[in-house]
């Protein structure tokens, strides 16, 4: 099922909160992202009921809404236990499916997974979601010695071990993929590229910003050197457009960078789900700089909560400095922007405010990226005038920022580049000097 299906299944949205009012904006977006048409909603403010999640009266009301709208799916913006799912199923019309928040997210991930790595990560997340349910089923079946107790299905004592074995096999394959990608990252650094990663919540504008930073460059020409470069980065206004990673080459004047857009964060994700996608997040964790993109049009409370969650996710394994980008300044006035800057100063010191959509302040962002990346090293080489020297000069032009070249009896080249590039150029120069002696 896709967003463009003309016969999308209809769904009723359900959300329970302990206090306050239930906001269903995000779960509606998630449902639409999965291809469902929202036909109605039921909300409740109360503590969780162990039998139905909702109160029993509210569960009856839900059943009536489902019958009236003829919905085929009920989507909870909460996590349901197997016992609650079974009891709710007995309340609802026959054949109606029940998805909780995490099962819905996994369904979306499954639709978006295009690469082998993404498919493996989705499968891993699904298995990690299923494992505690298989364990609960086994525990209940053993305790009550009744197959199919509470509608949980026939107990198969081998299922729990099968899941654990599959998880182990997937992790091993993902580890192999990660090693290959880490090797590629190191090759890129050795080729003179800085690695910049975009992070942030879905719909913060990361893909639009990627296109803006790399808008004028022909990425396809470099695919022979970097096989996973992708010249297209979708910037549609929908959740989870980017499940895998998209990398494009960006010119930052003094240096060249490879900028990678990754899967967007989403609120209230359990640790096991984030952990399942850590392979995708490696491109963030192992970057030279992370651009943390937020939608400045949201409320201060929303932005603050997302920044805290993002920092928790990033600082666990992140090795790079973080530069916060306040995106979508075209949606707020100058006074509101300044107020939000001040309110968020503790979490986002000295952020860059831009509009990726309108192209506002992108040049300033490029400058800040250059300032935040690892310092370049200056070098001056004196080389013999030979054909081999001309090849080295050409190589330095391709991998560093050349300031001056003097051609006389000898060739004197002054440049600045990443330390690894300077080290390689010295080694190559040493070989040329020895050969000409």
The CATH number of residue 88's host domain is 3.40.50.11060
- 187 lies in a domain? no
- 56 lies in a domain? yes
Residue 255 has pLDDT above 50, yes or no: yes
Residue 350 has pLDDT above 70, yes or no: yes
- 105 lies in a domain? yes
Hey, what's the torsion of the CAs at 429, 194, 320, 310, to 10 degrees? Answer: -170
Q: Is 203 annotated as a binding residue?
A: yes
- 5 lies in a domain? no
Residue 243 has pLDDT above 90, yes or no: no
Cα gap 22→12, rounded to integer Å:
15
Q: Is 333 annotated as a binding residue?
A: no
Per-residue pLDDT reduced to its tens digit, 24-77: 988 998 899 889 999 999 999 999 999 999 999 999 999 999 999 999 999 999
Q: Is 263 annotated as a binding residue?
A: yes
Supply the pLDDT for residue 143. Answer: 56
Q: Which two tokens stand for residue 266?
A: 């989403």
Supply the pLDDT for residue 423. Answer: 87
Nearest residue to 196 via CA among 268, 101, 293, 110: 293
Say which DSSP state 83 is in. H
Q: Is 363 annotated as a binding residue?
A: no
Please give the residue that has the higher pLDDT: either 3 or 428.
Answer: 428
Are 152 and 294 in a shared domain? no
Angular region, 187: left φ>0, alpha ψ -120 to 50, beta rest: alpha
Residue 194: CA count within 13 A, CB half-sphere = 28
Stretch 140-153: mean pLDDT, rounded? 50
Instruction: Tell me phi and psi for residue 165, to 5 degrees.
Output: -65, -45
Most confident option among 129-138, 202-211, 357-366, 428-437: 357-366
Residue 234 has pLDDT above 90, yes or no: no
Residue 142 has pLDDT above 70, yes or no: no
Q: Is 262 annotated as a binding residue?
A: yes
- 4 lies in a domain? no
Nearest residue to 170 via CA among 133, 132, 134, 126: 126
SS3 419: helix
Instruction: Tell me phi and psi for residue 294, to 5 degrees.
Output: -130, 155
Q: Which two tokens stand for residue 139?
A: 């525990």
Are 361 and 235 in a shared domain? yes
Say which DSSP state 221 is in. G
Q: Which two tokens stand for residue 382?
A: 């004196």
Are 196 and 319 in a shared domain? yes
CA angle 120, 73, 150 (to 5 degrees): 85
Are 401 and 261 in a shared domain? no
124 is in which domain, residue-wise? Answer: 113-181
SS3 75: strand
Q: Is 207 annotated as a binding residue?
A: yes
Stretch 205-228: mean pLDDT, rounded? 58
Q: Is 352 annotated as a binding residue?
A: no
Question: pTM for this structure?
Answer: 0.67
Q: Is 283 annotated as a binding residue?
A: no
Supply the pLDDT for residue 43. Answer: 96
Stretch 234-247: mean pLDDT, rounded? 52
Are 98 and 235 in a shared domain? no
Residue 175 has pLDDT above 80, yes or no: yes
- How many domains is the chain partitioned into structurally? 4
From residue 106, give the alpha-carbon distance in Å to each of 167, 229, 243, 271, 416.
16, 26, 11, 14, 46
Residue 118 has pLDDT above 70, yes or no: yes
Are 136 and 232 in a shared domain? no
Q: Is 200 annotated as a binding residue?
A: yes
Q: Is 242 annotated as a binding residue?
A: yes
- 125 lies in a domain? yes
Run of H or E including 68: helix 56-69
- 3 lies in a domain? no
Q: Is 18 annotated as a binding residue?
A: no
Residue 288 has pLDDT above 90, yes or no: no
The residue behind tokens 């306050």 is: 20
Question: Which of 109, 133, 166 lies at the terminal end of a domain, its last residue?
Answer: 109
Q: Is 244 annotated as a binding residue?
A: no
- pLDDT classification of 235: cutoffs 50, 70, 90: very low
Of 22-26, 218-222, 318-322, the least confident = 218-222
- 1 lies in a domain? no
Per-residue pLDDT reduced to its tens digit, 358-400: 999 999 999 999 889 888 889 999 999 888 899 999 999 888 8
Q: Which two tokens stand for residue 402?
A: 């050349």
Q: Is 429 annotated as a binding residue?
A: no
Residue 157 has pLDDT above 80, yes or no: no
Cα gap 105→102, rounded to integer Å:
5
- pLDDT classification of 146: cutoffs 50, 70, 90: very low
Question: Which of 125, 158, 181 lies at the terminal end of a domain, its last residue?
Answer: 181
Are 389 and 253 in a shared domain? no
Count other C-beta atoms under 10 Å from residue 48's C-beta.
17
Q: Is 264 annotated as a binding residue?
A: yes
Are 287 and 339 in a shared domain? yes
Are 104 and 135 in a shared domain? no
Question: Which of 128, 159, 181 lies at the terminal end of a domain, its last residue?
Answer: 181
Supply the pLDDT for residue 207. Answer: 84
Please give the mean pLDDT across all residues of the chain.
81
CA angle 413, 414, 416 (to 5 degrees): 130
Q: Is 164 annotated as a binding residue?
A: no
Are 202 and 297 in a shared domain? yes
Are 249 and 130 in a shared domain? no
Of 248-257, 276-285, 340-349, the least confident = 276-285
The CATH number that applies at residue 242 is: 3.40.50.300
Residue 199: CA count within 13 A, CB half-sphere = 30
Per-residue pLDDT reduced to its tens digit, 69-117: 999 999 999 988 878 988 999 999 999 999 998 888 888 878 877 778 7
Are 214 and 147 in a shared domain? no
């Amino acid at each position: 099922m896709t967003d463009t299906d003309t016969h999308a299944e209809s769904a009723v949205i359900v959300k329970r909160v302990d206090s306050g009012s239930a906001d269903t904006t995000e779960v509606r977006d998630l449902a639409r992202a999965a291809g469902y048409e929202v036909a109605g909603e039921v909300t409740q403010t109360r503590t969780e009921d162990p039998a139905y999640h909702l109160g029993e009266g509210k569960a009856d009301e839900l059943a009536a809404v489902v019958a009236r709208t003829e919905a085929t799916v009920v989507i909870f913006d909460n996590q349901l236990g197997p016992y609650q799912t079974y009891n709710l199923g007995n309340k609802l019309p026959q054949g109606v499916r029940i998805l909780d928040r995490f099962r819905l997210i996994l369904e979306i991930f499954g639709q978006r997974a295009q690469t082998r790595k993404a498919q493996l990560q989705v499968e891993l997340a699904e298995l990690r979601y299923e494992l505690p349910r298989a364990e609960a089923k086994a525990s209940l079946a053993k305790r009550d010695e009744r197959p199919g107790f509470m509608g949980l299905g026939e107990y198969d004592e081998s299922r729990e071990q099968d899941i654990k074995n599959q998880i182990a096999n997937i992790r091993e394959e993902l580890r192999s993929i990660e090693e290959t990608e880490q090797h590629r990252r190191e090759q890129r650094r050795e080729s003179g590229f800085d690695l910049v990663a975009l992070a942030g919540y879905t719909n913060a504008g990361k893909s639009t910003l990627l296109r803006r930073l790399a808008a004028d460059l022909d990425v396809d020409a470099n695919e022979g050197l970097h096989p996973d470069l992708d010249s297209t980065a979708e910037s549609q206004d929908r959740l989870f457009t980017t499940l895998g990673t998209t990398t494009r080459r960006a010119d930052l004047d003094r240096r060249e960078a490879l900028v990678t857009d990754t899967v967007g964060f989403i609120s209230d994700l359990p640790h096991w789900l984030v952990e399942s996608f850590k392979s995708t997040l490696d491109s963030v964790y192992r970057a030279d700089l992370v651009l943390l993109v937020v939608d400045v049009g949201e409320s201060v409370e929303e932005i603050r909560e997302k920044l805290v969650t993002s920092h928790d996710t990033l600082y666990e394994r992140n090795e790079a400095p973080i530069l916060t980008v306040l995106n979508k300044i075209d949606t707020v006035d100058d006074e509101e922007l300044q107020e939000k800057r001040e309110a968020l100063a503790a979490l986002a010191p000295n952020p860059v405010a831009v509009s990726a959509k309108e192209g506002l302040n992108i040049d300033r962002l490029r400058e800040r990226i250059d300032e935040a990346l690892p310092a370049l090293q200056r070098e001056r080489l004196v080389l013999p005038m030979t054909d081999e020297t001309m090849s080295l000069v050409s190589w330095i032009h391709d991998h560093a920022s050349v300031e001056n070249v003097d051609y006389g009896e000898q060739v004197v080249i002054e440049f600045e580049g990443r330390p690894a590039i300077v080290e390689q150029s010295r080694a190559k120069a040493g070989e040329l000097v020895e050969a000409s002696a």
